[in-house]
Amino acid sequence: MPAMSEPIPAKETPCVAVIGGATAGAEVAARLADRGALVAVFDQNPRPFGKIEDGLPRWHVNLRKKEYATIREKLGREGVHFVPNTKVGRDVDFAELVNDWGFTSVVLANGAWRDRSLPIDGIDAFTGRGLVYQNPFIIAFNHEEEPGYDGPRFAYPDGALVVGGGLASIDVAKVLMLETTRARLKERGLEASIGELETRGIPKILATHDLVFEDLGLAGCTILYRRDVEDMPLSEIPEGATPERAAKVRKGRRKILEKAMAKFCFTLEPLCAPETAIIEGDRLVGLGLRRTRIENGRVVTTDEVFERRGACVISSIGSIPEAIPGIDMKGELFDFSDWDVGRLEAWPTVFSVGNVVTGKGNIVASRKHAARVSQGAIEAFLGLGDGHAGEEALAGAVDEEATERVAQAASGVAGASDAERSALLERIAARQSAVGFDGFDAWMERHAPA
């Protein structure tokens, strides 16, 4: 990591702002810095680990350690300037960043940090009164035992309803089952850690105390899923798979789910869609549901309606990007004019990488997407690529008019003066010093994860 008073880079050095420093952001930052760009990485949090720290549940100890090390190494490379505790859209204006700071290009790598709203009119008014969303729930679970944690905390009641069906909703159900089991064991004077309960599974740990799950008197939580068990996205059906192969993957999904239910003692109610809120006093106490069926892969509603009551409702139906003022939205997503490389009509120097554009909650998918867009488009746009392949990918990925704007923007920036780059470095350093940043290694040591 260069010192803040490093020499100003050569005239032709492209300067790139990356918004979000986690898996995708770190990948693109390192690639561009290695090719000679000056890169500033802005992250809203003190630590740049994104969903590795705040999504992946904390029992993934080794995976988290490995991913932390990868991100740290990439952001620590020469040419990368980390700007923590800086949320674009709140602390730094997006339009200013793109137009005024002096960056050649801006890369969105800000992931998906907002919960999709449960589609029941008025239900969000009960957030904190019976309704909980997955993102803050997992963030609290991951951090609440750390000294100094002062964020929201959630109870882990028995008999919760979890609306979802993806891998994240299974993680939510696991958190509930692990915590309620741990609490019941504690009442009996027995200690069990979340780590050992997760690794060995609830029944095996109970057996070491001559107990079975029923002895705990827990009802357990229930995942409510609008599709059928074998539709759950627990493993992917490869593109162009034969019907036999697809059927095999679908059976595999059922097996994964059954294994998880046996190991963590939660239940799943498939083929039901939440439709109404059941309110008692000022609290959400359950959901009115409509039975669904699947026809040609589509969810079709039926006439059957029923109710499920629960200690609370946790909504885990997907994460979407948080809006950034200045970026047009289309529904709940950014209004990309090109979904392949995350380009925005109004901002020709902007590209996007990782979950913010793929919508895939997957570490490898985020990293691969960042590498592909960097190599296939951003490096070509900045003149850092090895030529043809990159240009072709860029040209093929955008329409003619957009390509023209890209070319103009690129040539405009190529003429940026030393004074402009000097002003940019000063601006980056001013923001770093405003948040107390005093060098990457020192900062990361002071903000080490617990």
Tokens standing for residue 89: 């859209």
Of 52 and 107, nearer to ligand FAD (C-beta) is: 52
Of 209 and 255, nearer to ligand FAD (C-beta) is: 255
What CA–CA distance (Å, rounded) separates 386 from 381? 11
What CA–CA distance (Å, rounded) separates 218 from 211? 13
What CA–CA distance (Å, rounded) separates 319 from 73? 27
| Residue whose CB is nearest to ligand FAD in the complex, by number | 111
Residue pointed to by tokens 């039975």: 291
CB 315 within 8 A of CB 130: no
Of 167 and 183, nearer to ligand FAD (C-beta) is: 167
State the nearest-atom distance from the C-beta of 154 to ligand FAD, in Å: 14
State the nearest-atom distance from the C-beta of 213 to ligand FAD, in Å: 24
Of 274 and 354, nearer to ligand FAD (C-beta) is: 354
State the nearest-atom distance from the C-beta of 27 to ligand FAD, in Å: 8
Of 272 and 363, nearer to ligand FAD (C-beta) is: 363
Residue 331: CB partners within 8 Å, gap ≥ 6? none
State the nearest-atom distance from the C-beta of 205 to ligand FAD, in Å: 22
CA 142 to each of CA 217, 264, 434: distance values in angstroms, whole numbers, following the listed order: 26, 18, 28
State the nearest-atom distance from the C-beta of 44 to ligand FAD, in Å: 4
State the nearest-atom distance from the C-beta of 272 to ligand FAD, in Å: 22
Backbone φ and ψ for 247, nearest 5 degrees, come out as: -65, -35
Of 103 and 416, nearer to ligand FAD (C-beta) is: 103
CA 263 to each of CA 118, 130, 178, 200, 260: distance values in angstroms, whole numbers, following the listed order: 28, 27, 10, 8, 5
Name the DSSP letter for residue 374: I
State the nearest-atom distance from the C-beta of 13 to ligand FAD, in Å: 23
Half-sphere exposure (Cβ direction) of 10: Cα atoms closer than 13 Å: 4
State the nearest-atom distance from the C-beta of 85 to ligand FAD, in Å: 9
Please report how the helices 167-187 and 134-143 are oriented relative to each other, as an axis angle in degrees rounded to 10. Answer: 50
Q: What is the chain's Cα-based Rg?
A: 24
Of 22 and 194, nearer to ligand FAD (C-beta) is: 22
Of 292 and 358, nearer to ligand FAD (C-beta) is: 358
What CA–CA distance (Å, rounded) separates 379 from 134? 36
What CA–CA distance (Å, rounded) separates 371 from 22? 13
Number of neighbours of residue 63 by Cβ within 10 angstroms: 12
CB 151 within 8 A of CB 138: no
State the nearest-atom distance from the C-beta of 125 to ligand FAD, in Å: 24
The footprint of ligand FAD (CB under 6 A) covers 19-25, 42-45, 48, 50-52, 55-56, 87-89, 109-111, 113, 138, 167-168, 171, 322, 324, 354-355, 361-364, 366
Backbone φ and ψ for 277, nearest 5 degrees, come out as: -100, 140
State the nearest-atom distance from the C-beta of 246 to ligand FAD, in Å: 22
Of 21 and 383, nearer to ligand FAD (C-beta) is: 21
Residues, the chain: 450
What CA–CA distance (Å, rounded) separates 402 from 123? 41
Of 51 and 143, nearer to ligand FAD (C-beta) is: 51
